[in-house]
Structure formats: structure tokens, C-alpha cells
Amino acid sequence: MTQNANPSTPTAQAAHLSGEAALNFPLGTTLPELGNAIEVAPGVLWIRMALPFALDHINLWLLADTEETPSGQRQGWTAVDCGVTNPGTQEAWRQVFAGPMKGLPILRVVVTHMHPDHMGLAHWLCEQFNAPLFMNATEYQAALLASTGASNFGGLSTQKFFADHGWNDPADQKQIQSRVSYYANMVPKVPESYHRLLEGSQIQIGDNIWECISGWGHSPEHMALYSPSANVLISGDMVLPKISTNVSVYAQEPEANALALFMRSLKKFDGLPADTLILPSHGRPFVGLHTRTAQLLKHHEDRLDEVLEACTERAGSAHDMLKVIFKRPLDFHQTTFAIGESVAHLHALWLDGKMTRTKDPQGVWRFKSNSDSARLTRSEVDALRQKKKAISDFVQKELKGSLGQKMTENNRSN
């Protein structure tokens, strides 16, 4: 069954609004029910699957498609992303097969990146419909490797990497090491072949051409899909309306500069139209791409300033910085992602020459701000802004007074 959307009336957003309040949500609070779909644009269906995490859902997309066969044109769907492998998600897909898909087949499966909520059931969907897989080569190889147990989500190498960055609690360390099958449990199998997607690759899907936009920092080489004719961007995890995308450094690439790569990737969306409809992997479809990317950039710039300031007097580890970067309590699962993000912020500053990295006697990497090259802290920036505003107000007042006096003198002379 396809639900009827009830779009809200678009309104101009006030410049001072922040977060979701600065974005426009054309469908309001409407969400697709499990096993059902909402048409968000002509030939574009939104389906929503449950996840067994605090982030409890993923958005998947069905695009009306056709293919040529010896007996003529065959109608069907392209599925974008898949959900994790578990019985509940498979059953929800079966409801979608019989309902919104109207019994038509999946003609191809597109996966934006290798994370388990996106890649999980790719093998099953491809097998069910004898459909080809389309994804980036780096993402495919990373999924293949992780599904065999060599992942960044648990095991001995991940445990050591986290310990090197200050997460040394023995009970937590034991739990991290035991998570060696974390990825494989949700992605037990990867299709044996795939069609490679590259930056700038174009895919004809139904009446629309979709262009691939690569992104780094969240995953090895994430692929978002943009259709000028539909005026739609399937942003995957690169641009989300409410939460900030996880950007982490992992054990397999321990000195990566993930955050710098992510922030650079966001700028790739600058050339897209302001009224593009954004279809994110989590949260609701929205309009306001440039507002949101600006928010995300500012969010990370603010966190970088806070980390730089926190390490001015005393060197800190990534584990120390958790309470600086994250303003809420974190459970164990959330901490496994947060520690990598903390490393990413420290690396961005270290590799930019703003910090010095050393290993302490316990083998923990510690970072200290360089006083001669550190950027201004947020408090210093705020103080300078206030001073600048005071000077500007004074100058404007003086100019206004001088101009008024000159006009008075002119009137007298006339």
C-alpha cells in the first residue's frame, strides 16, 4: 500500500532559526508505516525500516525503473539501500513487495555505502530478483572484508586502537574485543559481483538520470545520487536533517584525517539548487540543503574550537575529549562511534599544525594545542566580534552625527 502524503505549505525560514527549525519539511511529520510507502516525488517511494540501535530507523528508496528484454520493456524498481539482515526487516520487505511495489520486480540494487544498515540485505534482495548490485568499488571491498570479520567495529585491532586513544576500561575492552562479528551478524554475505559507481557516474533510472556525488569521512567513498530532472538528492548519510553524521578515524586507517575530508565533501553540494528535495537515510525529507551543510560545517568548527581550547593547558586523549565534544551521556554502543569521532577532531587539528601529538608512558596518544599556531578560541572570537561591533556602532554614530551636522549647515547656508 502506498500512503498519500499530506505536504505542509512551504514557508520562508527566518534567518535566525537553527537546527531543524531552519529547514522546510514538505511532508510535515508524516512517516511511512512499516511495509508501506509514501511517494515523495514522481516515481520515488519512501520506505522506512527498523534498526536495533538508538538510531531506530533507516530510510530506503524505491525508484520506478524499466529495462529492455528480448520480449520487450519490463517495468520494475531500483532499490536504494537495503536495511540490516534480520527476520523483521525481511518480513517488512515482503510486505513492500506485495504492496507498494505492486508485484513488480527489483531490477537493480544501489547501495550508497558499506555500513550494515545500508548494505545488510543487499545479497538477499539481489538473490530474490536476480538483480545486479551497483556501488563504489572501495565501499564494496570494505563490505567484503568486514563481512569476513576483519572490520573496524570490534576485535583485537579495534580494541588496541581504542586503548591507544585512552579507552582503557578492562570491561569495555573485553566487550570491544568480543565484537569481532558485529558487522558480519548484520551483513552475513556480500553479492559476488557488482557494477562500479564513480564520482560523476550517471545512471538512467526510469525517466531520470541520477549522478553520483562521492563523499568521504563517514565511510570510505560514500555515493549520494542527484537527479536534476527530478530535483532530488538522495543524500544517504552525508547530509541528515537532525543529527550530525558520524565522522570517525578507524583502526584500519589509524592516522586518517576523516573530518577534513568530510567537511571538504560537504562543499560538493554547494552547486545544487536551493530548492532541491533532500532524501536522507535518517530523519525526514527536507528542503534547505545549503542551510543544513552550513549548520554541519559550523557544528564541527565549534567542536574543533572547543577541543583546541580544552587542550591548551594540558594534553588530552580522544577519550578525554568525549565530554568536550558530546554534551550528553553515551552508552557503550554510542561510545564505540564517539571515540572515533573524537580522534577525527583531534587529527584535524594535529594534521593542520594546530596541535602536537605525543605518546605518554602508558602508550596513550595525547594532543596539546600549539600556543604559537593555535586558532583563536570561541571565547576569543566572541570577544573580538563584540569589540568589532562596538567600533562599528561608534563609527556609525559618529558618521550619522557628522552627516546631520553637515546637513544642518547646508540648510543654513541655503
- In terms of domains, do 315 and 276 share one? no
pLDDT value at residue 54? 86
| Joined grid coordinates for residue 85 | 539482515
Of the residues 279, 299, 319, which one is the last residue of a structural domain? Answer: 299
Domain ranges, residue 268: 20-152+180-299
- Burial level of 368, CB count in 10 A (0-12/13-18/19+)? middle
So what's the pLDDT on residue 400?
A: 59
Residue 152: what pLDDT? 76
Q: What is the pLDDT of residue 397?
A: 67
CA distance 42 to 27: 14
Q: Decide if 116 is inside a domain.
A: yes
| Cα gap 414→406, rounded to integer Å | 12
- 60 in a structural domain: yes
Indicate if 269 and 258 belong to the same structural domain: yes
Across the range 353-358, mean pLDDT stands at 97
Q: Tally Cβ neighbours within 10 Å of residue 389.
A: 10
Cell numbers for 274, please give them: 536551493
Query: Is the same domain home to 115 and 147?
Result: yes
Q: Give pLDDT, residue 11.
A: 32
Residues 277 and 313 in one domain: no
If residue 66 lies in a helix (H) or strand (E), which one and from where to where?
strand 57-69
Residues in the chain: 414
DSSP secondary structure letters along 132-182: PEEE-HHHHHHHHHHHTT--SSSSHHHHHHHHHTT---HHHHHHHHHGGGH
Domain count across the chain: 2
**Cα separation, 188 vs 87, whole angstroms:** 13
HSE-CB at 257 with a 13 A cutoff on CA atoms is 11
For 185-211, the DSSP string reads HH-----S--EE--TT-EEEETTEEEE
3-state secondary structure of 42: coil
d(CA 30, CA 22): 18
- Are 114 and 132 found together in one domain? yes
Task: Specify the range with the lowest mean pLDDT, choosing from 113-117, 185-189, 270-274, 402-406.
Answer: 402-406
Q: What is the pLDDT of residue 376?
A: 52
pLDDT value, residue 361: 96
Say whether both 43 and 107 belong to one domain.
Answer: yes
Q: What pLDDT does residue 150 have?
A: 74
SS3 of 128, please? helix
Q: Is residue 377 part of a domain?
A: no
What amino acid occupies position 374?
A: A
Which one of 299, 315, 337 terminates a domain?
299
In this predicted structure, what is the pLDDT of residue 180?
86
Do 71 and 116 have their domain in common?
A: yes
Strand partners, 185: none
pLDDT tops 70 at residue 121: yes
**Same domain for 304 and 290:** no
- Average model confidence (pLDDT) across the chain: 90
Is residue 410 very low, low, confident or very high in pLDDT (cuts 50, 70, 90)? low
CATH of the domain at 224: 3.60.15.10
* Residue 95 pLDDT level (bands cut at 50, 70, 90): very high
- Same domain for 305 and 216: no
- Give the predicted TM-score (pTM) of the model: 0.86
Burial of 173 (0-12, 13-18, 19+ CB in 10 A): middle
Measured between alpha carbons, how far is 112 from 134 in angstroms, rounded to an integer? Answer: 9
Contact 5, 46 (CB under 8 A): no
Answer whether residue 307 is part of any domain.
yes
Task: Compute how many other C-beta atoms are within 10 angstroms of the C-beta atom of residue 319.
Answer: 20
379 within domain boundaries: no
Q: Alpha helix locations (H) across 311-377? A: 322-325, 332-351
pLDDT digits (tens, 9 = 90+) for 159-184: 999 999 999 999 999 999 888 889 99
Using the predicted structure, report yes or no on whether residue 404 has a pLDDT greater than 60.
no
CATH assignment of the domain containing 335: 1.10.10.10
Q: What angle do CA 363, 366, 371 make, to 5 degrees?
A: 150
Q: What is the mean pLDDT of residues 357-368?
A: 97
Domain presence at residue 53: yes
| 14 pLDDT more than 50 | no
Distance CA 350, CA 253 (A): 16
Among 277, 299, 321, where does a domain finish?
A: 299
342 inside domain: yes
Task: Provide, rounded to the nearest whole percent, the portion of the chain with pLDDT above 90.
Answer: 80
Task: Tell me: do 80 and 93 sit in the same domain.
Answer: yes
The answer on 307 and 265 residing in a single domain is no
Environment class of 345 (CB within 10 Å of its CB; exposed 0-12, middle 13-18, buried 19+): buried
Same-domain pairing of 201 and 350: no
Domain assignment of residue 392, yes or no: no
* pLDDT-above-70 percentage for the chain: 86
The CA–CA distances, whole Å, from 353 to 264, 308, 373, 374 equal: 18, 12, 7, 8
